[in-house]
């Protein structure tokens, strides 16, 4: 069932495009655009109404870097959500390692913390019925062609994961794309732990793939920022090299895993094949078996929960 959908970060990029694609499905009756800016939300709503010819979009305010904001958003809902798309996220602004009130870095809270609080609150209030997806990333298993190393750990304990979240794990000069990879890695583990804890709901991590036409790379380090934002490289060179696709294809991956219940299973992480960043989706356990380790999954859950309580 997918009558009522909530998408975080729905005012731009892959989130907005997925709202458009959901809006074209007649069975979808309501789409909440979860945004932190009312102005950007209203502009996206207008654009989406024009693109789909339907008045099913509602702006709802949520700052996914703030657990309190997530809880406040849930208190505004009157009926359950069938599909939750946890799409908001990215590098975490100009200073991603800045510590915030939660005790984690901004890059952690924007990708992980508010979403964790959101899921917890929705489940506690019985407001979630069908599927939850999280916007993962190929970086979580390393992307050598972009110079992003595969995350590697000493012991995969709760303590180690907490140090990743608060930044103590990283040396002073660590590249923010590498830190992003670790955070997306923890997110995929956390989603798999949730899948075992709540078997009546599907929890799937899916990467939209390397996607141009979004604001996602604006704060990324050079050369990724240059490659993804320059018109020549993002529109011509990278597509020709088959290392980037458009927002339509990125968003379509979300809908693919949500609607194809036979092939995409709860608790799994789907993204591109090992040497690719676009193209068909495969289970990432094939590339990195650690995504299937239940102890690691539960340790990620424990570390994340520590910072939202």
Ligand X SMILES: NC(=O)c1ccc[n+]([C@@H]2O[C@H](COP(=O)([O-])OP(=O)(O)OC[C@H]3O[C@@H](n4cnc5c(N)ncnc54)[C@H](OP(=O)(O)O)[C@@H]3O)[C@@H](O)[C@H]2O)c1
Binding site for ligand X (CB under 6 A): 8-9, 11-15, 36-37, 40, 62-65, 87-90, 110, 135, 137, 207-208, 210-211, 214-216
CB of 21 or CB of 157, closer to ligand X: 21
Sign of CA dihedral 9, 11, 13, 14: positive
Residue 94: how many other CB atoms lie within 10 Å: 9
Cβ at position 91, least distance to ligand X in Å: 8
Whole-number Cα distances in Å, 121 to 10, 79, 84, 85: 20, 14, 13, 15
- In eight-state DSSP terms, residue 198 is -
Cβ at position 272, least distance to ligand X in Å: 10
CB of 108 or CB of 129, closer to ligand X: 108
Cβ at position 58, least distance to ligand X in Å: 16
249 forms beta bridges with none
φ, ψ dihedrals at 264, nearest 5°? -115, 115
Whole-number Cα distances in Å, 102 to 111, 158, 257: 13, 17, 32
CB of 110 or CB of 116, closer to ligand X: 110
Cβ at position 214, least distance to ligand X in Å: 3
Instruction: Say how far apart CA 256 and CA 187 lie, in whole Å.
Output: 20
Cβ at position 286, least distance to ligand X in Å: 19
282 forms beta bridges with 271
Cβ at position 221, least distance to ligand X in Å: 14
CB of 210 or CB of 297, closer to ligand X: 210
Cβ at position 246, least distance to ligand X in Å: 10
Strand segments (E) across 65-159:
81-86, 128-135
Which pair of tokens denotes residue 189? Answer: 């583990």
Cβ at position 123, least distance to ligand X in Å: 20
CB of 63 or CB of 82, closer to ligand X: 63
Selection from 204, 184, 23, 211 nearest residue 92 by Cα: 184
CB of 37 or CB of 144, closer to ligand X: 37
CB of 73 or CB of 194, closer to ligand X: 73
Which pair of tokens denotes residue 22? Answer: 């959901």
Whole-number Cα distances in Å, 271 to 67, 70, 188, 189: 27, 27, 11, 14
Residue nearest to ligand X (CB): 13
Query: Could you tell me if residue 226 is left (phi over 0), alpha (psi between -120 and 50 degrees) or otherwise beta?
Result: alpha
Question: In this structure, are residues 139 and 148 in contact, taking their beta carbons and an 8 Å threshold?
Answer: yes
CB of 102 or CB of 207, closer to ligand X: 207
Q: Roughly what angle, to the nearest 10 degrees, separates helices 158-166 and 294-308? A: 50
């Amino acid at each position: 069932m997918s009558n009522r959908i909530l998408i975080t970060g729905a005012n731009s990029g892959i989130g907005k495009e997925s709202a458009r694609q959901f809006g074209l499905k007649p069975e979808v009756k309501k789409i909440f655009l979860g945004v932190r800016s009312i102005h950007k939300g209203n502009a996206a709503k207008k654009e989406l109404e024009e693109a789909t010819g339907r008045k099913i979009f509602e702006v709802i305010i949520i700052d996914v870097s703030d657990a309190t904001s997530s809880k406040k958003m849930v208190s505004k809902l009157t009926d359950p959500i069938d599909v939750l798309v946890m799409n908001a996220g990215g590098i975490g602004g100009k200073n991603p390692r800045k510590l915030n009130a939660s005790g984690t870095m901004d890059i952690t809270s924007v990708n992980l913390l508010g979403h964790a609080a959101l899921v917890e609150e929705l489940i506690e209030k019985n407001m979630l019925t069908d599927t939850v997806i999280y916007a993962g990333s190929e970086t979580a298993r390393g992307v050598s062609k972009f110079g992003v190393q595969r995350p590697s750990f000493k012991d995969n304990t709760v303590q180690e994961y907490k140090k990743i979240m608060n930044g103590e794990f990283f040396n002073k000069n660590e590249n923010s794309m590498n830190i992003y990879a670790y955070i997306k890695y923890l997110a995929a583990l956390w989603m798999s732990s949730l899948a075992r804890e709540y078997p009546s709901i599907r929890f799937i991590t899916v990467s939209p793939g390397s996607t141009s036409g979004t604001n996602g790379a604006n704060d990324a380090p050079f050369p990724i920022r240059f490659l993804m934002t320059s018109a020549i490289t993002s529109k011509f060179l990278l597509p020709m090299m088959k290392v980037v696709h458009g927002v339509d294809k990125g968003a379509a991956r979300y809908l693919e895993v949500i609607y194809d219940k036979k092939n995409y299973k709860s608790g799994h992480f789907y993204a591109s094949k090992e040497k690719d960043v676009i193209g068909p989706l495969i289970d990432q356990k094939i590339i990195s078996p650690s995504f299937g380790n239940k102890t690691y999954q539960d340790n990620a859950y424990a570390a994340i929960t520590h910072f939202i309580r």
